[in-house]
Amino acid sequence: MSQTNVAAVGAWVDQVLDQQKYNSPAAQSSAYAPSNIALSKYWGKRETHFNLPVTGSLSISLAEHGTRTGLSVIDAPQHQVILNGASIDTHSSFAVKVCQWLDRVLPNDLKLRIDTHNTVPTAAGLASSASGFAALTLATNTLMGWQLPEHQLSALARLGSGSASRSLWHGFAKWQVGELEDGSDSIAFPLTQQWPQLRIGLLTISSQTKAVSSREGMARTIATSALYKQWPQQAQADLATIETAIAEGDFQTMASTAEHNAMSMHATMAAAWPPLVYWQPESLIQMQKVWQLREQGLPVYLTMDAGPNLKLLFEAQHQTDVETAFADVQVISPFAEFDPFGTRS
């Protein structure tokens, strides 16, 4: 990031926080944020420094699958980052992103221990960065006593990871594309609709860190894929269709549009150069299995983000059939109540 862009982001953060940036911190704080999967995908930035999207997107959270983050003030020259119980090198990509985000929003002399625990694999296409930066934002809001409104927290979380803007809430969330250069109107908000019968099935093909990050993959796709020219128009149309289907409780339209949206996004990646393919051979085997089951009358659909793992979409009355067909599937009830620091109720 150029010095000019660093200054622009810094000026926007200072405007949002005003004098609250220099509040006296509490000794410690903690927060939880769920991971999410986009039903209408976010793929491509119109501006990289503020993480502003080319299109809007809409997601469903993954309930107890997300990130718990604890913060505590330390007397040290730099932040300390603990991931899943292990101290990590401050020069690692994850630690660098976390520390850069904190340095934007905290006084220069305030250093923290960041203890973060993911219940989803890191950098495997299951939105661990989304839940991670959402939890970090919520914990920092508490630690510093900002008491910011949700739309500003969404925008701050977006600086760390675009999809984090949607991970502040449970259930459905919509990230609007916005128009302003500083991104202050590119924020997410929760949808009011509940869908207790909706189920998400996680099929983990690989939990290994992907070779090409989403950030790098987006840039490559925009720069080299001829198919990407059609993506923004389709993505916006799909978002509108999915939002209407959610409001009407129309599962078939919602799920089929989500699957088509995901396949279209991956097509733009495959048409990039060098080709960008996150799928593994097992991914294709499981995709074909979903399509075969649907031909046999089982209403199950799939979506995939930037990784090899599948997320199945189905309703509660078909859970037994899905679990029989996919022995390793992990079923999530997005609207069930649970204690993020305890057990599901």
- Predicted local distance difference test score (pLDDT) of residue 5: 66
- Predicted local distance difference test score (pLDDT) of residue 343: 46
Choice among 1-5, 90-94, 245-249, 303-307 with the minimum mean pLDDT: 1-5
The DSSP-derived string for 184-204 is TT--EEE-----TTEEEEEE-
The DSSP-derived string for 263-280 is HHHHHHHHTSSS------
Question: Would you tell me how many other CB atoms lie within 10 Å of the CB of residue 2?
Answer: 8
- Predicted local distance difference test score (pLDDT) of residue 124: 45
At 323-341, the pLDDT tens digits run 999 999 999 999 998 888 7
- Give the DSSP H/E element, type plus range, for residue 254: helix 251-270
Q: pTM of the full predicted structure? A: 0.92
- CATH numbers and ranges of domains, the chain: 3-190 (3.30.230.10), 198-332 (3.30.70.890)
| Model confidence band, residue 279 (pLDDT cutoffs 50, 70, 90) | very high
- Predicted local distance difference test score (pLDDT) of residue 188: 97
Q: Measured at the alpha carbon of residue 159, what is the angle toward residues 263 and 4, in degrees to the nearest 5?
A: 120
- Predicted local distance difference test score (pLDDT) of residue 55: 96
- Reply yes or no on whether the pLDDT at 121 is more than 70: no
At 193-233, the pLDDT tens digits run 999 999 999 999 988 888 898 889 999 999 999 999 999 99
| Model confidence band, residue 1 (pLDDT cutoffs 50, 70, 90) | very low
3-state helix, strand, coil in the chain (%, to 5): 40, 20, 35
β 80-83/111-118 pair status = parallel
- Predicted local distance difference test score (pLDDT) of residue 3: 54
Choice among 74-78, 157-161, 206-210, 279-283 with the minimum mean pLDDT: 206-210
| Model confidence band, residue 71 (pLDDT cutoffs 50, 70, 90) | very high
